[in-house]
Amino acid sequence: MMRFLGVIVALILLLYPPLVYFGAQWFEPRWLGVIFACAYLLRLVLVARAWWQRGLLLAFMLAGAALLWWVNSETLLKLLPAGINIGLASYFAYTLWRPPSIPTRAATFEYHGNLPSVVERYTIAVTRLWCVFFIVNASIALVTALFFSREIWALYNGLLAYFAIGLLFAVEYAYRILIFHKKHAL
């Protein structure tokens, strides 16, 4: 049941831009904000391991829901993708400061814990690339939220941003498989 609930909440969060786009036509932003805050809270509580993490997340989500209720602003709802991208950029950057980085951890599984130094350097470069990508994506998400229509915002954050993430992942994966591994005889 918990797994099913986690999948449903993840789908709601993945479909956030189209849900805001269509939901804003029928509901006030405050109601959408509360609904999404509850979905995020549920998702975060499902993945939080320690009681203090759950408490911190609960306090944060309640504060966010209260702010959304009080301000009743669609723009505030539209800022969430920018915030998520800043959070991802921060987390990836943090793993550079406190290794191993996220791509390094993934590569460790592929090499069963014995990473060649060239692979470790490569994964650090990939981590930096993702940091830059998330900062650029956050900037575009911020601009679309503040200066563009709901339609443009939903198009970028609900389709084009996902396409850009997939494209970067695919290009990096293709480079790693087709060029990097052959170049370094891995």
Give 22-61 pLDDT, tens digit per residue. Answer: 999 999 999 998 888 888 777 777 777 888 888 888 888 8
The C-alpha atoms of residue 71 and residue 94 are separated, in whole angstroms, by: 32
Contact 65, 33 (CB under 8 A): yes
pLDDT digits (tens, 9 = 90+) for 126-164: 999 999 999 999 999 999 999 999 999 999 999 999 999
Question: CB of 144 within 8 A of CB of 156?
Answer: yes
Residue recorded with tokens 């956030």 = 16
Q: What does the alpha-carbon distance between residue 65 and residue 36 come to, in Å, rounded to a whole number?
A: 9
H or E element that contains 69 = helix 51-71
Residue type, 175: Y
Six token digits for residue 120: 């470790």
Per-residue pLDDT, 69:
93
pLDDT in tens, 7-18: 888 888 889 999
C-alpha 149 chain-centroid distance: 22
Three-state secondary structure call for residue 148:
coil
Euclidean distance between CA atoms 110 and 171, whole angstroms: 19
DSSP three-state, residue 73: coil
Cα–Cα dist 75/58, whole Å = 23
Its pTM stands at: 0.88
